[in-house]
Structure 1
Amino acid sequence: MRFVALPLLAAQLTSDPRQVAFVYVAEQLPLLLFGLLSGAIADRFDRRRILWVVDAARTVIVGALAVAVATHTLTILVLTGIGFLLGLGQTLYNGAWSGIVPSLVTSPELTRANARLQSASLVTDTLLGTPLGALLFGITAALPFAVDAVSFAAAAALALTLNGGLRPQPHAAPNPRRTLLGDTTQGMRWLWQQPLLRRLCLTSGISNLVGGGLIAILVLYARQILDLTSIGFAFLVASFAIGGVAGAMATPRLCARFGTSWVLRLSAAATAGTAVAAGATSSGLIAGVCIAAYGAANLTWNVTAVSVRQAMVPTHLLGRVGMAYQMVIGAGTTLGAALAGLEADSLGLRAPFYIGGALLLVASTISMRPDNTLTPRTKRASNVHPHRRRAGDAQATGPESGG
């Protein structure tokens, strides 16, 4: 809901496009500034505690925002600061979240778990949250933020119910005399030393560079090329989510039948083809079908890649490696939006689709080797999964949880 309500609120406070854009930039800035640090923090402390503390803090922040909007005391400067704090909260949350799923789920079930989580996220975010946020904002500007505050409170309460080994293993925890900078460097170095993860990270960066660019110009493409109304644009956004849910839920069966490597390569190639097809058509209906297929291929790749990464990374490095990975993804999205604007301005609105398709095709060739199973190196890395360690180290963990 906040994804659509926050820019609407900014536009209500000022007509200066620079100030409106700066609110969005303030939300994204913490990932670039503190992403690696949040991973190091997550690998030192109880990840469940980080989740509920962050969401409790965001309950207060968004609740205060709702009050300020209702009492007409909000300024664009204060809104920018609140955007930064919410972005910082999301960055800290993501660092802890990176290690939650592998701590809750055994390695063979990672793909199924990630498929369900990403499907649920698409449904609640894109299909439900975005239109609901716009609807509630139309009733009264403070309402979506009041509901958002309640949702953060509920999330904080749910985080308290998580059970499992959510604190780094005592024998694997960072030396307390080491600095957070040293811990961060260790995570980046470990990621760089894994050829498979390097390729996956690079492919993710390219995929998000293309995706960020297409999102940035999609509304103009829908209006000027496809001649769609606002409802038609909403149809395009919804079609991505519907396709994404279908792709995510099909991923476990695809991996079981064709092997992880081939699923990664073919789904990356499919995103390339569907991006080009979406850019070539002038029909809104055909564009919607192509975008749905793009969403299915994109989520298939994401679920598979996230599951591979989670299986490979040792539990005491999950936060740091995960956030280093997300830094590349975030940089790709931001850079892609900027480049797509330049491409569309100089070459036309179809150009980002064609150029993006070419980049995705390159990404499909570097994502993984064309074998039907994970490499032996990956399998050995998977053997350090936290559940396997806990089986022989129950007293160390205690009875206690993305791309």
Structure 2
Amino acid sequence: MTAAETTTGAATAAATAADAAADGTARKEQRPRLGGEFGKLWTAATASAIGDGMSLTAAPLLAGRLTDDPRLIGGVTVALTVPYVLFGLPAGVLADRVDLRRAMVRIDFFRAALVALLACCVLFGRGQLPVLYLCLFLIGSCETFFRNAAQVLLPSVLREEALVDGNGRLMAAQTAGSEFLGPLVGAALFGLGAALPFGLDALTFLVSAVLLSRLRTSPAAPDPAAGAAPRPSLLADMATGARWLWNHRLLRSLAGLAAVVNLVSTGGLAVLVVHAHRVLGLGDFGYGVLLACQAAGAVLAAKVAPELARRAGREWALVATAAMLVLGNALIWLVPSAWAVATALALDACAGVTWNVVVVVLRQTVIPTGLQGRVNSVYRLVAWGAMPVGAALAGTVAASAGTPPVYGLGAAVMAAVGVRMLYGVRTRWISGTGAAA
């Protein structure tokens, strides 16, 4: 992890302003107000997250009813995440070219129709593995653009000094919805009827679409480099984002680390339903309760992570995420107990929110406004491209050696990442360079 060699005045000023704003929020009287428009975005994201939690809990359970092969069950996660690799770059370019709010509304309507169709297929006995894979692939394709767009859209809803608190609250709500309420409701509804979680998810997409259609955003700052020149091609725009990220050593290093973290985390979640059924002896609802335990860690991290980053520094906050992931994977590997797995999942979620509070805000303040979509898409290609790889590898290992070795390997990999981050603390690879470019 090397610091960037040169800095730009604008980027350094942005990081300094973000740090000063973060320090100011420690005092209640200076905590920024997020406003009604953020409330709409928060409600839309929360409703959609609850629906996602229901569907993403029901999908592995449905796959488990159709097959007992861990590789095919892990294929659910592969189908959902492989679009990040295929469409991540074009999605980022489009995020810099289109009206984000309108595009997100249309995507939500499309996803509502898609999940409703899946619910009908399951209801009438047509919900076989190929249908499930195809639906999740299309949902993942929409999500590739939607998540990128949502992250780019947030700074047009909040002032810069409110981004830390806004990101924290948004992530807490999304995680609580997708990892607590969603799994509990999804597992309970799945026991009543396999189509019910998907049908209710379709309604949450409709709610999100309506709220986003009423969202008012501030106009984007003009890009000083835009001028009157003709718009570059999609390929040229993708190359611009890739070149900017490659030249920014700090974000390039973070993207590589995020890829390793996502490979381990996604692999563990991909075979968790198999582990819950075969090793822990839990039923479908028990699996949903396990997933819901992630919310405890997420909510705790949403309250603690911003303060941790301010007091201990961003480097130590990232070291803490690695330590939590090592401990979580080791617990699942060594202790065949539902309580141990529940604790591990809470630790994993806490690590994920802590990472995002540090890194997402850093990207939002460092990357120039006109390049947010393109650079974020390249970053996500690196970071999220490891997800389907992790799911496929975990399914293969689980099929040949069982699920516990998946988590043992995860603990070893994250220990190596933690050592690398400790070296970063010594070199002050984040705070020492500010927003180095």
Q: 1:142 to 1:336 in 2, by over 3 A?
A: closer
Indicate whether 1:246 and 2:300 are aligned.
yes
Structure 1 unmatched ranges of 5 or more: 382-403
Partner of 1:324: 378
Q: How far apart are the structure 1 equivalents of 2:170 and 2:159?
A: 15
Aligned to 2:42: none
CA shift digits 1:245-288 (9 cap, x unpaired): 21122111111211212211233233223422442224433443
Q: Could you tell which deviates more after superposition, 280-289 or 88-97?
A: 280-289
Q: What displacement does 1:88 show?
A: 2.0
* Structure 1 residue 258 corresponds to structure 2 residue 312: yes
Report if the CA contact (8 A) 2:104-2:209 is conserved: yes
Residues in 2 aligned to 1:128 and 1:331: alpha-carbon distance in whole angstroms: 28
Letter in 2 for 1:31: Y
Whether 1:378 and 2:403 are equivalent positions in the alignment is no
Counterpart residue type for residue 360 of structure 1: M
Structure 2 unaligned regions, length at least 5: 1-53
User: Quick check: 1:272 aligned with 2:315?
Assistant: no
Deviations 1:293-320 (A, max 9, x none): 3332332123212222222111111112
Q: 1:26 to 1:193 in 2, by over 3 A?
A: same
- In structure 1, which of residues 70, 95, 116 is the aligned counterpart of residue 148 of structure 2? 95
Instruction: Provide closer, same or farther for how the CA distance between residues 136 and 168 of structure 1 changes in structure 2, counting only shifts above 3 A.
Output: farther
Matched, 1:339 2:398: no
Deviation of the 1:179 alpha carbon:
0.6
For CA contacts below 8 A with separation 6 or more, give which structure has more relative contact order: 2
Give the TM-score, by structure 1 length: 0.81
Q: 1:283 to 1:380 in 2, by over 3 A?
A: closer
Q: Is the 8 A contact 2:75 2:392 kept in 1?
A: no
Q: Is the 8 A contact 2:328 2:348 kept in 1?
A: yes
Determine whether 1:162 maps to 2:215. Answer: yes
SS of the counterpart of 2:216? Answer: coil
Q: 1:79 to 1:260 in 2, by over 3 A?
A: closer
- Taking the aligned partners of 2:359 and 2:415, their CA distance within structure 1 comes to 17
2:375 is aligned with 1:313: no
Pick one of 199, 210, 213 that aligns with 1:146: 199
Separation in 1 of the partners of 2:406 and 2:191? 33
Tell whether 2:353 aligns with 1:299. yes
Q: Quote how far apart the aligned CAs of 1:8 are.
A: 5.2
Counterpart selection for 1:48 from 101, 111, 115: 101
Letter in 2 for 1:291: L
CA distance in 1, matches of 2:276, 2:145: 35
| 8 Å contact from structure 1 (residues 28, 87) kept in 2 | yes
User: How far apart, CA to CA, are the structure 2 residues paired with 1:203 and 1:37?
Assistant: 23
Kept in 1: contact 2:301–2:350 (CA 8 A): yes
Distance 1:168 1:321 in 2: 17
CA 1:239/1:366 → structure 2, altered by over 3 Å: closer, same or farther? same
Q: Distance in 2 between matches of 1:9 and 1:219?
A: 11
Contact residue 89 and residue 238 of structure 2 kept, 8 A: yes
Query: Does 2:95 align with 1:38?
Result: no
Q: Distance in 1 between matches of 2:278 and 2:100?
A: 47
What letter is aligned with 1:49?
Answer: R
- Tell me if structure 2 keeps the 8 A contact 1:111–1:251: no
Aligned residues: 380
Name the counterpart of 1:177.
Answer: 231
Q: Tell me if the contact between 1:26 and 1:84 (Cα under 8 Å) persists in the aligned partners.
A: yes
Q: Percent identity?
A: 35
Tell whether the 8 Å contact from 1:45 to 1:167 is kept in structure 2 after alignment: no
8 Å Cα contact 1:46-1:167 kept in structure 2: no
Structural RMSD (CA): 3.2
TM alignment of 1:16-31, pairs within 5 A: 25-31=78-84
Matched AA of 1:119: A
Match of 1:123 among 164, 173, 176: 176
Letter in 1 for 2:431: T
Equivalent-residue separation in structure 2 for 1:69 and 1:231 (angstroms): 19
Out of 210, 214, 224, the position equivalent to 2:268 is: 214
Does residue 289 of structure 1 match 2:289? no
- Look up the match of 2:415: 361
Deviation track 1:116-174 (CA, whole Å, cap 9, x = no partner) reads: 11111121112111232333344444443332222112111211233333657353559
Compare 278-287 and 330-339 and name the one that shifted more.
Answer: 278-287
Deviation larger for 119-128 or 74-83: 74-83
Q: Is the Cα–Cα contact under 8 Å of residues 258 and 372 in structure 1 kept in the other structure?
A: no
CA distance in 1, matches of 2:102, 2:355: 31
Distance 1:248 1:66, change over 3 A: same
1:185 is paired with a residue whose SS is: helix
Alpha-carbon distance in structure 1 between the residues aligned to 2:131 and 2:407: 37
The code of the aligned residue for 2:56 comes to: F
Deviation at 1:240, TM superposition (A): 2.4
Between the aligned partners of 1:198 and 1:370, the Cα distance in structure 2 is 19
Aligned to 1:106: 159
C-alpha contact 1:261 1:370 (8 A) present in aligned 2: no
TM-score (norm 2): 0.75
